[in-house]
Amino acid sequence: MKLTYIYHSCYTIETDKFSVIFDYYKDSGNTPYKGYIHEELLRKKSPLYVLASHHHPDHFNKHILDWKKEKKEIIYILSSDILTEKKANSEAGVFLKKNDIWKDENITIKAFGSTDAGISFLIRMDEKTIFHAGDLNNWHWKDESTAEEAEIAEKSFLLEVNDIAKFTNDITITMFPIDPRLGNDYMLGAEQLISKIKVGTIAPMHFGEAYDKANNFASIAEKNNCKFLSLSHKGECFTI
């Protein structure tokens, strides 16, 4: 299985039978519609699953709906808020809300909650469990929030993590926000997740261009017997 970092919260997964794109915002190239997805992935003949966790423009780019004009075997699995916010019509794809399950002969997708808009995705495929958090995180903003606001945010996040832990305690790989904008405790949510649930590999997202700060999580991952994927550029590929 190949995992490729595209940009922001967008990753792709490729197997011999199919591919998956999560939360497309921009491609990995330096100009619009240039990069790994447009020049490689969309040209593959195998089925493609395109997932979007919520309607925010840095996680859902409506350009993805144009891809069906050039690729026949494409399935859109979208958060229901994309429909309610009128970012796509009901014919665009399959819409999921928290606790919904969708599956076919290749993958099973269960929607979990978020501490922001939309949902997060747990996928079972090829005997592996993949988790993409979307905007699920401990968005505490402690440097700006009151102690009470930070406590409420943390409780909300931990409730969602507990829901996931009840369903599975063994995730092959998770893609999770490690966002330096949160201030001193920007890695806290990711640390809480891997301390609660066994995670084989964690890949950072939602960090902008702050690769060095995102990669600081490597030592925390190691302490929790979790492999960390240190990133250096857009379009970087890993074999899982």
Residue 50 to residue 27: CA distance in whole angstroms: 14
Mind listing the pLDDT tens digit for each residue in 65-80?
999 998 989 999 999 9
Do you know the residue count of the chain? 240
**SS3 (DSSP) at 228:** strand
pLDDT band (50, 70, 90) for residue 131: very high
Q: Which helix (H) or strand (E) holds 22?
A: strand 19-22
Q: In this model, does residue 143 exceed pLDDT 80?
A: no
Q: Which two tokens stand for residue 75?
A: 């399935």
Sheet with 10-14: strands ordered across: 94-96, 74-79, 48-52, 19-22, 10-14, 2-7, 237-239
Q: What's 9's domain CATH number? A: 3.60.15.10
Integer-rounded Cα Rg, in Å, for the chain is 17
Mind listing the pLDDT tens digit for each residue in 44-53?
999 999 999 9
Tell me how far the alpha carbon of residue 223 is from its chain's centroid: 23
**Total domains present in the chain:** 1
Question: Is there a contact between 178 and 215 (Cβ–Cβ < 8 Å)?
Answer: no
pTM for the full predicted model: 0.95
Q: What is the mean pLDDT of residues 22-41?
A: 94
Q: What domain range includes position 189?
A: 2-239
Tell me how far the alpha carbon of residue 92 is from its chain's centroid: 20
End-to-end CA gap in the chain: 5
